[in-house]
Amino acid sequence: MKKAVRVMLTLLRLACTGALLFPILFMFGKARIHDFYELLIEKFWFYPRFWNSFFLAAAIGLGASLLAFLAAAGLKWGIGRGRKVILSVLLLLMLMPLQVTLLPNYVGLRDMGLLDTRAALILPMVCSPFAIYLMYRYMETMPQEAIEAVRMETSSLFPILRHVIFPEMRSCLAAVFVFMFAEGFNMVEQPLYFVKRDELKPLSVLTEILPQEESYLIYAVGIVCMLPLLLLYGFYEEEIMEGLGYLKA
């Protein structure tokens, strides 16, 4: 009986792995060597759009990391009562699909006059409930003795954040940055609704802005756009595993 269960679990893992790898293998099968040459050497439209996507993703990753760090610190040490309520709200927001928040974000950006700007793509994603919740759970594992010792010397919040909390949070900050960078690099719905100018749209919506006669290049674009994410995941693998290790209810 146990052997049969192990076999079924192994088959299930293989099936899940195959389902995850199939789109990547399909892209590699469709892309041709000449497509990469044409894309990287002959098509000058690719580089401005690539760096636009990279800038948006980097701004989202850095902004979300900084905001989550400050919000989690305030939630941990600046709020007495109501902490559990706020955490419950964060969990509820994490469970909501993106489509639920598109209309409120659109209305807010419209009223602030930020539609059809890069800020319309960056600001909504910087305020990430997942990033705040992950950062808070990681802060709960920090030793309180070091913080109390610094509090005896100074009551200023900035030295405590800079010299005590920030060095302990580097792994979690790296994990949040990588995940939010990937989410910003792969966003689809936000560019379709929040911006109209093609020069502001990232490569993740390339199928909408790519000319019909160059549609065969989409597989080469997909492979090239995977490289920054693979490099980030590979470089920060240990930090990601350590940062996610404390994500527990």
Q: Once rounded to an integer, what is the mean pLDDT over residues 81-106?
A: 84
Q: Give the residue from 56, 64, 37 showing the smallest Cα distance to 199.
A: 56
CB 64 within 8 A of CB 126: yes
Question: How many Å apart are CA 231 and CA 27, to the nearest integer?
Answer: 19
Q: Please say if the pLDDT value at position 40 is more than 90.
A: no
CATH class of the region 54-244: mainly alpha
Cα distances (angstroms) measured from residue 122 to each of 80, 93, 229: 31, 18, 18
Whole-number pLDDT of residue 243: 63
Q: Please say if the pLDDT value at position 149 is more than 50.
A: yes
Amino acid sitting at position 46: F
Question: How many Å apart are CA 209 and CA 188, to the nearest integer?
Answer: 12
Question: How many Å apart are CA 248 and CA 40, to the nearest integer?
Answer: 43
Residue 70 CB coordination number (10 Å): 15
Per residue in 117-136, pLDDT tens? 999 999 989 988 888 888 88
Whole-number pLDDT of residue 249: 44
Element (H, E) at 137: helix 129-139
Whole-number pLDDT of residue 126: 92
Per residue in 167-204, pLDDT tens? 778 888 888 899 899 999 988 888 888 998 888 888 88
Q: Once rounded to an integer, what is the mean pLDDT over residues 46-75?
A: 89
Per residue in 204-249, pLDDT tens? 887 666 767 777 788 888 888 888 888 888 887 777 777 666 554 4
Question: What is the pTM (predicted TM-score) of this model?
Answer: 0.83
Q: What share of the chain is helix, strand, coil (3-state, %, to 5)?
A: 80, 0, 20
The residue among 69 and 150 whose pLDDT is bigger is: 69
Amino acid sitting at position 24: I
CB 75 within 8 A of CB 140: no
Q: Please say if the pLDDT value at position 58 is more than 90.
A: yes
